[in-house]
Amino acid sequence: MRVAQTAYARQQRVGMTGNEAVAYAVKQADVDVIAAYPITPQTIIVERLAEYVNNGELNAVYIPAESEHSALSACVGAALAGARVFTATASQGLALMWEILWIASALRTTIVMALANRALSAPINIHCSHDDAYACRDTGWIQFFAENVQEAYDLTLMAFRVSEDKRVLFPSIVNLDGFILSHGLEALYVLSDDAVKGFIPPKEPVYPIDPERPMTYGPLALFDYYMEFKKVQAEAFKRVYPVILETFGKYEEISGRRYSPVKTYLMEDAEVAVVVLGSSAGTARYVARRLRAKGQKVGVVSLTLYRPFPAGDLAKALRGLKAVVVMDRSYSFGSPGAQLFMDVATALYHERERPLLINAIYGLGGRDLMPQHVEEAFEVAREAARTGEVKEREIWLGVR
Amino acid sequence: MSVRPLSWRELPAAPVITEAGSALRYKTGSWRALRPVIDRGKCIKCLLCWVYCPEPAIIRGEDDGVEVDYDYCKGCGICANECPVKAISMVEEG
């Protein structure tokens, strides 16, 4: 982690779980409305926020909804009314919110949601897969992936600023790996309340709800206008990426911590690499470092941003490689590749020279990604690089 | 419709109608396949059609006589179904 000396002075070093860090960031962001329904592994986020509201540390309306569907619906209404809004969920809860996700984006609400990634049933599981994050990839939400507790805190703050930026006006999801980050206790630096206040300007509603001036939000638009409204939304979403880059830059100025949609590690002269989302990036880097010591030219690419997908910057990061293993913590049945794999393959398609691609399925339902699993992935990539062909397009790491 | 359809570049950021009551300008009469025709000789002015019309596209006169507002009537036929004296018949649109 890069932390400038000046930034050290203004920040406090604390120990928090990922859930506590997200809740602390939301409190500092001074939200107006929280509507939520408890679900493991995010429950502690909304429990902590309920405590903040109850003890007067946070002046917000707390709506304990009767379901996630209602929770997100309440968030949409509150956001349209002009409130700064937060919710959190996971897995089945996210699935129950799903139809409202589209509405939240199309109505250009600026809700920030924490998603403590958890596998979808069946069988019932409460641990980490990225099924839930992938399930909202097409809904028009911005999606960040935290790699550790510090990032969960930082990205939550940045999500508010990005979403509420007048050039953006889209809701954001901050993904943190269930249990691994949501319940993992780590040391992190937190900004002062004043620094956060300066970083996230007061929210200005776009189409505020006003009883004196009744309006219709989300009316019927059939074959006559639906397509035009989707084009408006599509073009607007294309303008999000530069604002995220700008926000990362502004955040570095106050925190000393540098963010980038695509993070590269030991990639300068790498011949093979893995691409990964979330907390597994650390394990992958640890393995890459060890293999480098043995003379293997391996590197790691991890993504902080999943939507909008940083296709151009990712393709640049993978330029010149011989083989790449794309790691997916989910599975897409009948698909030509799991979800991240398809995005990476699409991003690379327009390159003149493309690396060989292998899709590695790992960590489903919280199965630990051990260093030997990443070693296996690198070995498969090295073999493909050596022979010039991919033996198996899909491999499962750590499955019995 | 005679109104020029707008391109996406002319639309607001979100599907929001900022003016109240604009649905009045959305004439739904063209959706109709069957048109209700009232036989004034049979009508007993009970107003059940006026009560049941979901639009509402039954216009109530001062003497409780009724007329159909064909600008908005979608031809659902509820009025004809509810009329206790069968004074409303559904006639195919030409």
- Residue A207 has its nearest CB partner, among B5, B11, B16, at B16
Q: Which residues contact A367 (CB under 8 A, 6 or more apart)?
A: A398, A399
Residue A243 C-alpha, separation from nearest chain B C-alpha, in angstroms = 17
Distance of CA A372 to the CA centre of its chain: 26
- Are A26 and A155 in contact by the 8 Å Cβ rule? The answer is no
Q: What is the CATH number of the domain that holds B69?
A: 3.30.70.20
What B3-12 contacts at long range (C-beta under 8 Å, 24+ apart), as own/partner pairs, is B5/A224, B5/A225, B6/A225, B6/A228, B7/A228, B8/A227, B8/A228, B8/A229, B8/A231, B8/A232, B8/A235, B11/A225, B11/A228, B11/A229, B11/A232, B12/A232
Q: CA A115, A145, A46 angle in degrees (round to 5)?
A: 25
Domain that residue A153 falls in? 5-255
Domain that residue B36 falls in? 28-92
B6 contacts in A (CB within 8 Å)? 225, 228
Q: Are B8 and A236 a contacting pair at CB < 8 A?
A: no
- Minimal Cα distance from A108: which residue of B? B14
Same domain, yes or no: A137 and A230: yes
Q: Are A215 and B11 a contacting pair at CB < 8 A?
A: no
Picking from B4, B6, B8 by the largest number of A CB atoms within 10 A of its own CB, the best residue to mutate is B8
C-alpha distance across the termini of chain B, in Å: 19
B15 contacts in A (CB within 8 Å)? 106-107, 217-219, 221, 225, 229
What's residue A328's pLDDT? 98
A231 contacts in B (CB within 8 Å)? 8
- Give CA–CA dist B72/B25, Å, rounded: 10
The residues in B 20-59 lying below 8 A from A, measured between CB atoms, are 20, 22
Q: What is the pTM of this model?
A: 0.92
Q: Which residues contact B90 (CB under 8 A, 6 or more apart)?
A: B34, B35, B36, B37, B75, B77, B80
What's residue A6's pLDDT? 53
What tens digit of pLDDT does each residue of A280-308 get?
A: 999 999 999 999 999 999 999 999 999 99
B7 contacts in A (CB within 8 Å)? 228
Q: What is the CATH number of the domain that holds A336?
A: 3.40.50.920
- Which pair of tokens denotes residue A234? 């599509």
Of A308, A25, A12, nearest to A161 (Cα)? A25
Q: Are B8 and A235 a contacting pair at CB < 8 A?
A: yes
Of A191, A66, A229, A108, nearest to B9 (Cα)? A229
Q: Which residues contact B62 (CB under 8 A, 6 or more apart)?
A: none
Same domain, yes or no: A154 and A301: no
Q: Are A231 and B8 a contacting pair at CB < 8 A?
A: yes
> For B29, how many CA atoms within 13 A lie in the half-sphere containing its CB?
14
Residue B7 C-alpha, separation from nearest chain A C-alpha, in angstroms = 7
- Are A207 and B14 in contact by the 8 Å Cβ rule? The answer is yes
Domain assignment of residue B21, yes or no:
no
Number of domains in chain B: 1
What tens digit of pLDDT does each residue of A188-220 get?
A: 999 999 999 999 999 988 888 888 888 999 999
A106 contacts in B (CB within 8 Å)? 14-15
- Residue A106 has its nearest CB partner, among B5, B14, B20, at B14
Does the pLDDT value for residue B2 go beyond 90? no
Number of domains in chain A: 2
Low-confidence residues of chain A, pLDDT below 50?
1, 3, 7
- Are B60 and B50 in contact by the 8 Å Cβ rule? The answer is yes
Same domain, yes or no: A274 and A327: yes
A220 contacts in B (CB within 8 Å)? none
Burial (0-12, 13-18, 19+ Cβ within 10 Å), A134 = buried
- Give CA–CA dist A153/A49, Å, rounded: 14
What tens digit of pLDDT does each residue of A100-156 get?
A: 999 999 999 999 999 999 999 999 999 999 999 999 999 999 999 999 999 999 999
List the strands of the sheet with A172-177, edge to edge: A61-64, A33-36, A85-89, A112-117, A172-177, A142-145, A305-307
What's residue B1's pLDDT? 46
Report ipTM (2 d.p.): 0.85
Last residue of one domain, picked from the residues A200, A229, A255: A255
Q: Which residues contact A315 (CB under 8 A, 6 or more apart)?
A: A347, A348, A350, A351
Q: Which residues contact B44 (CB under 8 A, 6 or more apart)?
A: B84, B85, B87
Domain assignment of residue B71, yes or no:
yes
Same domain, yes or no: A130 and A219: yes
- Minimal Cα distance from B1: which residue of A? A224
